[in-house]
Structure 1
Amino acid sequence: MPAAYATSINSNTDSINITWETCFSDPLLTALIDTALNNNFDVLSMLQRVEAARAEILFAKGRMLPTVDAGISAGVIRLGEYSADWAGNEGSQYVNGEMMTQRIPDYYLGFSASWEADIWGKLKNQKKAAYSRYLSSVEGSNWVVTSLIAEISSIYYELLSLDNQLEIIRETIQIQENALEIVKIQKRTGTANELAVKQFEGQLLNTKNMERALYKEIISTENIINFLLGRFPQPIERSPALFSNEFPEGLAPGIPSTLLQRRPDIREAEFELMAAKADVASAKAAFLPSLNVTGDIGFNAFDPSYLIRTPESIAYGLLGGLTAPLINRSAIKAEFKQANAYQLDALYNYHKTILNGYVEVANEMVNLDNLDEMYAFKSEEVEALNQSIDISTRLFRTGRANYLEVLLAQQNALEAKLDLIDTRKQQYLALTKIYKALGGGWYK
């Protein structure tokens, strides 16, 4: 990876230990995030997938150990009249002196065991793959948490932006209503005409329509946050005055190589690559002979009264053998080729995830730089246009400016104020994006 990011922000300071509580200092926002981490359905579902991956480790570990089963059985065998067993035993006696019959009962009580010796590491690699996928699922859940925190923060700042826009719209409505009253008075005194009145009325109605549209958008945005918090629609407690505060200092990106350790999606891809590598080794071992050992020990008798007598009723057996595929190995070959293909796919995905992480950080750092300057310029523009409203209104009252100049001043000021709020919103959105791009938020 490159040694540093192409940005004017100092990247020598590392923010690897940043947490979402320190990054997002608004207590109302942190309360929403905390609720979402406990109730969000995506997070809850991801935690269950982690538990499923943990169970896969236990399954793979269990396959490496012998299996021991306890059993009890009872049955009867009827020997054929001309079978070798009956022909050779007809007229024989049991140990208790009874004559042997063609119907021979059989009772068994004991244990059986089987074990595959992992001489080529096939089972060991299956365990490695399961463990790597478990770690991958953990990192995946961390990435879900990070993405959720960033999404809630972004929508929260969007909501604050709408609140501030609504406040500006209402202030503008008050200004336009005052201007309308002035022009009505001037019409009655003969210094203005009906056209001017209608122009001011049209502008006022358009602004009121913007107010209603903003109110509708605020309700929809609140409902999106409620959904992410796993609850039914309700008002979202928030502090619109946050936009008036000084913008917080941005996060220092550190050196690019730290992304390998702190971005959960990169670590997730890394563990998937490790799992794919273990799958290839396991598939390769399937071509080699496997050693299987089976055995059993227990009590076996023709009569239940003799079943637990020792050592006469004790029976046992032990068998070990090597088996290797010789003919029709197409299924094993196909599994091996599939494992190889998945490994290359995991490798490419790992490289792509690393590149994506670097690009995201680099883009957002440049974006923060530009937005700081844009906000400063836009603030000066708003200040100038606010003064233009006062100047044009005074000139209009004295007849030295026409109503179109007043309308234009009001419209330009409104647009500039809304643009200023939007720029502040973009700054906060860039903050949440750089926070996510740096991989923070999943640790507490």
Structure 2
Amino acid sequence: MNHASSIALAAALALAGCSYKSTPTPEVVTPPAAWAAPAIAGEGVWPAADWWQGFASPELAALVAAARTGNTDLAQAAARVAQAEASLRIAGASLWPSLGLSAGGDLRRPSGANDWSDSYSAALSASYEVDFWGANAADRAGAAAGLDASRFDGETVTLTVTASVASTYLQVLSLRDRLDVARRNLSIAEDVLALVEAKVGAGAASDLDLAQQRTVVAQRRAAVPPLEQNVREQLAALAVLLGLVPTGFDVAGTSLSPIVVPPLAAGMPSSLLQRRPDVKAAEARLAGADADIAAARAAFFPQVTLSAGLALSGAAAGDLFSLSDAAWSLGASLVQTIFDGGRREAQRDLAEARKVELLQSYRAAILAAFQDVEVALGAVDTLDRQRRLQDEVVAQARRALELAQIQYRAGASDLLSVLSAQQSLYSAEDQAAQIKLSALQARVTLYRVLGGGWSS
């Protein structure tokens, strides 16, 4: 290789050091200084990574562990991460030289000759596309951003599945509480019916009283089957979350009573963007769009490829190891597209428009994150207050029914007051069970929208 070729090769390799440089992610939304929702004791504290342990339910913890190994959505997310890893390796391969090896043998007998002659050959070739303009590096950076986004998406799925398991399990327990309320109120209605029947037999009550109370009993009985069906539906949903066949699946829990209301954790707005994997995924995709633009712009410049080869031949296989007859080659090629009908311009415009879209998607993800937390904090505060007030409603409804029954037995009031008290108690207890569920699920939602203890 002469001196000029050496200089050209050195210059090419030096220019190859120019690689894609990523740009910082712009600040598209200024975080608020504090949450606008009512102040809570846990402000500034982020959820623990195992936040579901705060409900003090060993069964819930076991269900979450089972879901993390058996859930089909998580398995799909893991496969998508594996695909992204493979894509990154594919993109990274373009930064390395490619090597090729070929070998062959030939056995011939010329026409009219009695002897056979054989010959052998081998060739080693290498080529390398010099990444002058950072196109290959940009492709690899885009693939790396895609891998980051896939991993963040996987974390989002994990968080969503965990929250869904907790919420569905609490739903099952709440429905069983409501079933207990319906059955207890059915028992109360049957006791009142027995009293009315006795008074009708003694001539102290009318057939209208008897028909009205029988209506109440029928209503209480009719309330049970829908709740039983809801329990079956939620158990089936929970089984699927765990990756199990719903048939025969059940949980041991029967009530929300043992469930502990966990302490609150609200974090700080300034750190939320580093604790939401969905926001980080949007940021990674935006970084990938930058890399795509760089690759599209690099396509306007020529491609330079260096190549080298070594060819060996011999009349016997052993001659291949002798370099005396070796043929060497070293070359470089430059390719520049002159006209492509506007393809490269369109590809560049497409990449730039895609970045505009992803920038707005990133901004939307940030705004949605702040909105989620504000709404969740407000729901936790509202439902906690509502739960305390509803407990007082239940206590007064029970007292009202007791007094109405006493007065009815003594003949001091008619059945109407008893009917009204029965309905009030059933509604109050059923509503209390639903509010308690909503209060617990609001905490699950809050932990989820705060990132569930995840951090980038």
**TM-score, with structure 2 as normaliser:** 0.86
1:242 counterpart SS class: coil
* Alignment match, 1:99: none
- Give the match's secondary structure for 2:191: helix
Say yes or no: does 1:339 pair with 2:369. Answer: no
SS of 1:243 mapped into structure 2: coil
Say yes or no: does 1:49 pair with 2:62.
no
Structure with greater Cα Rg: 1
How much does 1:74 deviate? 5.5
Alpha-carbon offset, residue 18 of structure 1: 4.3
1:55-80: CA deviation from partner (whole Å, max 9, x where unpaired): 11211111100000111246799xxx
Offset at 1:417?
Answer: 0.6
TM alignment of 1:110-125, pairs within 5 A = 110-125=123-138
Residue in structure 1 matching 2:396, options 365, 384, 404: 384
What is the deviation of 1:399?
1.4
Report how many aligned residue pairs link the two structures: 418
Whether the 8 Å CA contact 1:266–1:350 is kept in 2: the answer is: yes
2-structure distance, mates of 1:238, 1:438: 30
The residue aligned with 2:141 is: 128
Structure 1 partner of 2:257: 243
SS of residue matched to 1:69: strand
Once the 2 structures are TM-superposed, how far is the Cα of residue 328 of structure 1 from its aligned partner?
2.0
The 10-residue stretch of structure 1 (325-334 or 24-33) with the greater mean CA deviation from structure 2: 325-334
Q: Deviations over 1:201-244 (max 9, x none)?
A: 12111111111111111111101100110111234324344336
Between 136-145 and 54-63, report the one with greater CA deviation: 54-63
Q: Residue by residue, what CA displacement relative to the aligned partner does 1:8-35 show, whole Å, maximum 9, x if unpaired?
A: 2247422154433444431111110100
Residues of 1 paired with 2:52 and 2:437: CA distance?
Answer: 20
What is residue 87 of structure 1 aligned with on the other side? Answer: none
Alignment root-mean-square deviation, CA: 2.4
Q: 1:402 aligns with which of 385, 392, 414?
A: 414
Query: Contact 2:302 / 2:335 at 8 angstroms: preserved in 1?
Result: yes
Distance between the aligned counterparts of 2:446 and 2:304, measured in 1? 54
**1-side partners of 2:387 and 2:321: how far apart?**
94
Which residue number in structure 2 is paired with residue 62 of structure 1? 93
Q: Partner of 2:223: helix, strand, or coil?
A: helix
Q: Which moves more between the two structures, 134-143 or 328-337?
A: 328-337
**Number of the residue aligned with 1:146:** 159
| Residue in structure 2 matching 1:372, options 375, 378, 384 | 384
Distance 1:441 1:210, change over 3 A: farther
Contact residue 243 and residue 424 of structure 1 kept, 8 A: no
Q: Distance in 2 between matches of 1:309 and 1:150?
A: 66
Query: Any stretches of 5+ residues in structure 1 without a counterpart?
Result: 78-103
1:60 is aligned with what amino acid? Answer: A
**d(CA) in 2 for partners of 1:330 and 1:419?**
66
Q: After TM superposition, give the deviation of residue 305 of structure 1 in Å.
A: 6.3
Q: Name the % identity.
A: 26
Normalization by structure 1: what TM-score? Answer: 0.89
Report which stretch shifted further, 226-235 or 6-15. 6-15
Which residue identity lines up with residue 243 of structure 1 in the other structure? S
Alpha-carbon separation, structure 2, partners of 1:397 and 1:12: 54
Kindly provide the amino acid, as one letter, of the partner of residue 385 in structure 1: A
Amino acid at match of 1:117: V
- Distance, in Å, in 1 between the alignment partners of 2:253 and 2:86 is 45
Paired residue for 1:287? 300
Once residues 13 and 110 of structure 1 are traced to their aligned partners in structure 2, the CA distance between those partners, rounded to angstroms, is 67
Unaligned runs of 5+ in 2: 1-30, 109-116
